[in-house]
Homo-oligomer: A and B are copies of this chain.
Amino acid sequence: MPALNETHDLNLTSWVASANDAQCDFPIQNLPFAAFRRQGSDEAFRGGVAIGDQIVDLAAAKATGVFSGLAQTAAEACAAPRLNDFMGMGKEAWSALRLALSQALRSGSAAEAQLSACLVAQAEAEYDLPCTIGDYTDFYTSVFHATTVGSLFRPDNPLLPNYKWVPIGYHGRSSSIDVSGQSFHRPKGQTKAPDAAEPSFGPCKRLDYELEMGIYIGKGTDLGDTIALDSADDHVFGLCLFNDWSARDIQAWEYQPLGPFLAKNFASTVSPWIVTTEALAPYRTAWSRDEADPQPLPYLESETNRAEGAIDIQLEVLLESDKMRAEGQGAAKLSESSFVHSYWTVAQMVAHHTVNGCNMKPGDFFGSGTQSGPTHDEAGSMLELSLGGKQPITLANGETRTFLEDGDAVIMRGHCQKEGAARIGFGEVVGTVLPAKA
């Protein structure tokens, strides 16, 4: 795994007591970034770092004198409403600020008095997108999702011949990406039933979620430059949870030959917190390719990628219906999966995306593609769980679903956990389906 340092030490505790709970997503070893302000205020959004159930307000912290040198410069960049400038500073600056925060937040730190005045409770915060997303690319890295969905869209040809050679990706829409809490009207569009002579127009009938990881580019590149596989960590600022809402009936009719369009660009939702590449270091793990499968071309192959290219992130999806909300029932779990199943690693996505010279800008965003696991109950979309809408699933309270209904909120959570390392949580991403506009 990548080099660990004092910030990863399992034994560290914080003077922010809530961070020391073993089940907390945001212990002192995590330190993820978001853009926040106090709920309902007209304050400017600014960068913050999660610690326990609190947020370190970096716009306030930069003025305390707690940080110095590169960490201070980085903290100043984080005072902006969006974190693009900080993300573009690169790994050295990211690490310097992480180390300074880790030291200042530790039990016994002399900075406690100054930084405790910079805390805002997460319960009192609201979030914005952490950065301006210039370009958004969606990958398709779960071979299980690709095979299952392929069999629904193309029964005779589920997994195309390029899949095991090319980290398949396509461009998505940035403008409609919003942060957790997003609600959106059920999209309308053209659909055509297989037996209909002509398409018709109306609200989507097969609305779905997709359980994905989001990947933020930090340091950019110039047009014509490539990012080698083993340099990807210099450019990937961090990861979040991502719900790539999908209108399956619109998608089926529109997607050939140039790919999904209106089926995807009505809404996409990210979790507020970016968990940094550095925080995830203890959870990097071996990546392998079945012997029977094609092995990667040289630009997608390295010893380091084999040794530590994968990341073991546990994921879950829950649904909260109007009824559950009204009756005070908890949300119902739909599935669990893990990012470790990804057929291609984050580094392979980055190397592939830039091998033709495509330039990256700080804040550019990748979706991993739906992270379905190898078994049916690990499916990352309702399309898969309901076998293309043919077999309704039964929720914990007895309701059934083949696709999403109005009022449904979809909740995704993720975390890393293992012996000998601190839990690294992602928090959650929530989004809610509103009825189609009249």
**Chain B CB within 10 Å — which of A255, A258, A356, A437 has the most?**
A356
CA distance A356 to B27 in the complex (A): 41
Say whether B259 contacts A190, CB under 8 Å.
no
Interface string of A181-203 (1 = CB under 8 A from B): 00011011110100000111100
A323 within 8 A of B: no
User: Looking at the complex, which one of B135, B150, B184, B266 makes contact with A175 (CB distance below 8 Å)?
Assistant: B135
Q: A353 — which chain B residues lie within 8 A by C-beta?
A: 262
Say whether A299 contacts B260, CB under 8 Å.
no
Say whether A166 contacts B253, CB under 8 Å.
yes
Say whether A257 contacts B255, CB under 8 Å.
yes
A361 within 8 A of B: yes
Say whether A261 contacts B171, CB under 8 Å.
yes
User: Distance (Å) between the CB of A249 and the closest chain B CB?
Assistant: 12
Say whether B257 contacts A169, CB under 8 Å.
no
A267 within 8 A of B: yes
| A138 to B, closest residue via Cβ | B258
Q: Scan residues 163-222 of chain A and give those whose CB is less than 8 A from a CB of chain B.
A: 165-166, 168-176, 178, 184-185, 187-190, 192, 198-201
Say whether B170 contacts A190, CB under 8 Å.
no
CA distance A342 to B198 in the complex (A): 22
A352 within 8 A of B: yes
A256 within 8 A of B: yes
CA distance A170 to B188 in the complex (A): 17
A140 within 8 A of B: yes
Say whether A170 contacts B171, CB under 8 Å.
yes
A250 within 8 A of B: yes
Say whether B170 contacts A259, CB under 8 Å.
yes
Interface string of A405-417 (1 = CB under 8 A from B): 0000000000000
Interface string of A382-399 (1 = CB under 8 A from B): 000000000000000000
Say whether B356 contacts A175, CB under 8 Å.
no
| Size of the chain A interface, CB-CB below 8 angstroms | 65
Interface string of A255-288 (1 = CB under 8 A from B): 1111111100111000000000000000000000
CA distance A150 to B258 in the complex (A): 11
With contacts A185-B357, A358-B266 known, is A190 near B166, CB below 8 A? yes
A228 within 8 A of B: no
Say whether B175 contacts A267, CB under 8 Å.
no
A289 within 8 A of B: no
Q: A170 — which chain B residues lie within 8 A by C-beta?
A: 170-171, 258-261
A324 within 8 A of B: no
With contacts A265-B356, A265-B358, A297-B199 known, is A172 near B171, CB below 8 A? yes
Say whether B175 contacts A358, CB under 8 Å.
yes
Say whether A259 contacts B258, CB under 8 Å.
yes
A223 within 8 A of B: yes
User: Looking at the complex, which one of B150, B224, B258 makes contact with A260 (CB distance below 8 Å)?
Assistant: B258
User: Looking at the complex, which one of B168, B256, B356, B360 makes contact with A266 (CB distance below 8 Å)?
Assistant: B356
Q: A134 — which chain B residues lie within 8 A by C-beta?
A: 134, 174-175
Besides A166-B253, A187-B356, 8 other CB < 8 A contacts?
A175-B364, A184-B357, A201-B298, A201-B299, A223-B266, A224-B437, A256-B257, A258-B260
Would you list 12 pairs from A and B whose C-beta atoms are within 8 A, ordered by A residue? A134-B174, A135-B175, A166-B253, A170-B171, A170-B260, A171-B171, A174-B174, A178-B223, A201-B299, A255-B259, A262-B353, A266-B358
Return the 9 tightest CB-CB contacts between A and B, nearest first.
A259-B259, A187-B356, A171-B171, A170-B258, A258-B259, A265-B358, A266-B356, A262-B356, A170-B259
